[in-house]
Amino acid sequence: MPEFRRGPINDRWVIIAPERAKRPSDYKQKGPEQPAQPPESCPFCPGNEEKTPPEIYRVQEPEGSWRVRVVPNKFPALSDYPDLGCTAVEGIFDRMNGIGTHEVIIETPEHAKEIPDLPIEQIKLIVDTYILRLSKLRENEFYQYVLLFKNHGKEAGASLTHPHSQIIATPIVPSHVREMLQAAKAYYEQKERCLFCDILLTELQAEDRVIEVTDEYVVLTPYDSRFPFEMMIYPRVHSHDFTEMDEKTRWGLARALKRTLYRLKALLGDPPYNLVLHNSPNPAPRPGEPKYWSILPYDYHWRMEVIPRLTKLAGFEWGTGFYINPMPPEDAARYLREVEIPED
Amino acid sequence: MPEFRRGPINDRWVIIAPERAKRPSDYKQKGPEQPAQPPESCPFCPGNEEKTPPEIYRVQEPEGSWRVRVVPNKFPALSDYPDLGCTAVEGIFDRMNGIGTHEVIIETPEHAKEIPDLPIEQIKLIVDTYILRLSKLRENEFYQYVLLFKNHGKEAGASLTHPHSQIIATPIVPSHVREMLQAAKAYYEQKERCLFCDILLTELQAEDRVIEVTDEYVVLTPYDSRFPFEMMIYPRVHSHDFTEMDEKTRWGLARALKRTLYRLKALLGDPPYNLVLHNSPNPAPRPGEPKYWSILPYDYHWRMEVIPRLTKLAGFEWGTGFYINPMPPEDAARYLREVEIPED
């Protein structure tokens, strides 16, 4: 029997339709989604460093090789302009210059080693690099939001196979983020508690959507999951800003990322996915403009979302903004929990 | 140089990034996206009528064969329940029974003839059937919204190749629709004009995104197009309700659909697409509940949207709700305008 579900964050219903459900084996990938690009021509492989735009940052080995690199995106969605290009009116429409920053984080020199295959120390270096670049871009007075994400597999929008993440800084707080902030602010005003902490408590009490609990994180399939095997990595200790993480929490995230992406790969055979960081907007406003978001510590709670790309968006989703999910998150969590993870 | 664009309907920015642009030939489909299902096993082909759930409606030929059929979806996203199942509270979450109707409109007995290949009389029968079923479901007091859509091609979510459309009736006005209604209401209160009529006038004045103007319709690529070759079919005479169309406007829509989908096929070689009707919510409220939407004629303006599925949604879209579109709609409109359409 299908049911409508809605969480307290978005005004978005999800139809959980188990009549249309499949087992994990039906979603299992049949083989590599795309032929791997040969390392010789890969711009992210060691030896081809001149194929990327000039490097922004690297984690250097003593002997000269690198372990993580950050470079500008060669085909940026947004560019650094001298001119801020305030909102212009074009008849009934709004436009402004596409100002922003678009960076690529090359996660490892190894062409074909994804997070589940990497040693935990390497993943910790990736997390450190995320935090370093996000912190830097959060200080830029022209930017209101910095998004960190990773597209894995062609179906998930990746154009290169060499493991990499991306950062886009924008002069706008995205409407999705604004909606979450507004929900969290309203909840805090009423309850004097963090909305996301309360969601976490509810999920821990319900148990059936929890995949794993560590000292620092809870990994779960959200109540209102839009997609089969959608997962959320929640920090257990409240924090609105990803960049404020201490050493222990960074190591914990490295472990949680490795274990969570391992579960996905083991259960479904390396499916395409998007990894998205939900973080609070930047503290610094644009000069001369009001501070839109005076972020109080309880207005937000950062999380990392894993979105496997196993189903297609179709007419229903475009027409309504709602989603049809054939896999109840309780079932997805059970399958994911049952994956045996080798000790590191 | 990339730019941000926003229309007056949604709080959603689109990044138009021509640096990432491709030509139509780069999007052109290399061959059939999926092997066509053989007609023998197709549940929508004549002779296999018993493979669908019991028929709801058909357009009958005098000699007994049918030209259009309407059947319930065999794997419905929503079901008809005796119990309305009002919103229930589950801790911090909302849920309600998945009540609704999910119908399939089989557009033609011919297994492999899509709208661009069909005679205009057959497309007119499809339009008549759309209106008949939508009118019926709009009268149901349990439903607040009825969505009509078509998924074409596997990438666009279609599971069967035989041409068909779908209708889903829901007990909720979707948030996307509510957002559009709110924008239109606010605009009408201020200007005493329909927001959508004013968008249409703006587009007709600008000219560069207009693909075709007929007596009844304007076909254009929206200013804030999220996807390459996204198109909107706007009725020129104001109407908030698709089901109120007169005969002349129905014939006009049949022609506009055929010509628009022909352009897409000729330019890009039968790409996957979604066709979505944006219509006003149902006039009848649920019993005992307030009438959420007292629709005045100028609160809405129906349109049909064509969304070709040539790019992938990725981390940026999930994290922001914004879109990156590498194809400026002005270029897309020019390519689409230049397609030569054979006379019917």
Instruction: Report which of A143, A232, A288, A274 is spatially closest to residue B317, judged by C-alpha positions.
Output: A274
Neighbour tally for A294: CB within 10 Å: 9
- The answer to whether B150 contacts A1, with C-beta atoms less than 8 Å apart, is no
Residue A219 lies in a domain: yes
What is the DSSP secondary structure assignment for residue B75, as one 8-state letter? S
- The domain in which residue A166 lies consists of 3-337
- The answer to whether A176 contacts B93, with C-beta atoms less than 8 Å apart, is no
CATH code of the domain containing B103: 3.30.428.10
Per-residue pLDDT in tens (0 to 9) along chain B, 344 residues: 788 888 888 878 888 888 766 788 878 887 666 666 788 899 999 999 999 999 999 999 888 899 999 999 988 888 876 565 555 556 789 888 888 999 999 999 999 999 999 999 999 999 999 999 999 999 888 888 999 999 999 999 999 999 999 999 998 899 889 999 999 999 998 988 899 999 999 999 999 999 999 999 999 999 999 999 999 999 999 999 999 999 999 999 999 999 999 999 999 999 999 999 999 998 855 555 554 455 566 788 999 999 999 999 999 999 999 999 999 999 999 999 999 998 76
Interface test with A, best of B105, B282, B318 (most A CBs within 10 A): B318
Residue A327 lies in a domain: yes
Residue A118 lies in a domain: yes
DSSP secondary structure letters along B191-232: HSS-HHHHHHHHHHHH-TTEEEE-SSEEEE--TT-SSTT-EE
* CB-CB contact of B32 with B48 (8 Å): no
Q: What is the pLDDT of residues A54-69, one digit of tens each?
A: 999 999 988 889 999 9
Give CA separation, A168 vs A138, A146, A260, B276, B315, in Å.
11, 6, 24, 31, 10
Rounded Cα gap, residues B168 and B170, in angstroms = 6
Instruction: Report which of B222, B207, B221 is spatially closest to residue B335, judged by C-alpha positions.
Output: B221
Neighbour tally for B1: CB within 10 Å: 12
A76 touches chain B (CB under 8 A): yes
* CB-CB contact of A120 with A258 (8 Å): yes
Give CA separation, B279 vs A92, A122, B130, B243, in Å.
22, 52, 12, 9
What is the DSSP secondary structure assignment for residue B253, as one 8-state letter? H
Average pLDDT, chain A: 89
Q: Which residues of B touch A305 (CB under 8 A)?
A: 318
A168 touches chain B (CB under 8 A): yes
Give the β-pairing of B57-60 and B66-72. antiparallel
Give the pLDDT confidence score for residue B31 in this predicted structure: 66
Neighbour tally for A49: CB within 10 Å: 16
Give the β-pairing of A3-6 and B101-106. unpaired
Scanning the structure block, which residue is given the tokens 């100002």? A99
Residue A136 lies in a domain: yes
B275, β-bridge pairs:
B150, B306
Can you give the pTM of this predicted structure?
0.93
Please count the structural domains in chain B: 1
Instruction: Report which of A101, A78, A106 is spatially closest to residue B20, judged by C-alpha positions.
Output: A78
- The answer to whether B320 contacts A92, with C-beta atoms less than 8 Å apart, is no
Q: What is the pLDDT of residues A192-250, one digit of tens each?
A: 889 999 999 999 999 999 999 999 999 999 999 999 999 999 999 999 999 999 999 99
Here the tokens at position B281 are: 């919510």
Residue A81 lies in a domain: yes
Q: Is A238 a catalytic residue?
A: no
Residue A110 lies in a domain: yes
* CB-CB contact of A99 with A77 (8 Å): no
Q: Which residues of A touch B322 (CB under 8 A)?
A: 170, 174-175
The share of chain A scoring above pLDDT 90, in percent, equals 66
Amino acid of residue B5? R
Give the pLDDT confidence score for residue A292 in this predicted structure: 47
Q: Which residue has the higher pLDDT, A259 or A21?
A: A259
A33 touches chain B (CB under 8 A): no
Rounded Cα gap, residues B342 and B344, in angstroms = 6
Residue B262 lies in a domain: yes
A30 touches chain B (CB under 8 A): no
Tell me the angle at which helices A195-206 and A175-191 cross, rounded to the nearest 10 degrees: 80
Residue B260 lies in a domain: yes
What distance in Å separates residue A182's CA from the closest CA in chain B? Answer: 14
Question: At B124, which helix (H) or strand (E)?
Answer: helix B120-139
Longest dimension (CA), chain B: 61
What is the DSSP secondary structure assignment for residue A61, as one 8-state letter? -
Instruction: Report which of B104, B118, B155, B91 is spatially closest to residue B311, judged by C-alpha positions.
Output: B155
Q: Any idea what the Cα angle at residue B276 is, between residues B273 and B277, rounded to 5°?
A: 155
Q: What is the pLDDT of residues A243-292, one digit of tens each?
A: 999 999 999 999 999 999 999 999 999 999 999 999 999 885 555 555 44
